Amino acid sequence: MKGRYEDLIAAAKAAMERAYAPYSGFKVGAALRTASGRIFTGCNVENASFGATICAERTAVVKAVSEGEKEFDAIAIVSSSGEVTPPCGICRQVLAEFTEDIPVIMAQENGDAKIYPLYTVFPQAKLPFEAEE
Ligand code: THU
């Protein structure tokens, strides 16, 4: 199962090295595969105003959407913690805006991974709706 995500995990690890995390020291990398096969990566980017911090997963989503890609197949997440890193609640909500029930691959730096469908880690999701004019 993990084998088919090895390239995605490797991309997330490379992105993790670019994390800007001087305050927490907790580096995170994410890699999002689009339906067209492209991979968009992201890292966490912290800020002196802590609430302005953006997570690795949302960095990847924002990069993809801003490049015209809104259909996603899978996301891999790696952190420097030595443990698997589940996405935070805000990132789960942001993923649910754009995806179906995609696999969320939570990998450790050594390659071990837990894989859960998005709706398993984020049940009863608030899904996108048609905004009124
Ligand atoms: N963080 C992520 O980038 N993704 C996660 O899934 C968990 C948390 C970041 C935010 C902050 O820079 C640091 O990790 C500590 O929470």
Taking a C-beta distance cutoff of 8 angstroms, is the pair 33, 10 a contact?
no
Q: Give per-residue pLDDT as tens, 5-57.
A: 999 999 999 999 999 999 999 999 999 999 999 999 999 999 999 999 999 99
Summary mean pLDDT of the chain: 95
Predicted TM-score (pTM) of this structure: 0.95
Measured CA to CA, the distance from residue 32 to residue 99 in angstroms comes to 11
Place of tokens 């994390």: 19
Measured on CA atoms in the order 49, 25, 97, 37, is the torsion positive or negative? positive
Task: Kindly give the number of the ligand 1 atom that is closest to the alpha carbon of 88.
Answer: 6
CA 115–ligand 1 middle distance (angstroms): 18
Taking a C-beta distance cutoff of 8 angstroms, is the pair 34, 64 a contact?
yes
How many percent of the chain have pLDDT more than 70?
98
Q: Which domains does the chain have, with CATH numbers?
A: 2-121 (3.40.140.10)
CA 33–ligand 1 middle distance (angstroms): 20
Q: Give per-residue pLDDT as tens, 74-131.
A: 999 999 999 999 999 999 999 999 998 999 999 999 989 999 999 999 999 999 998 7
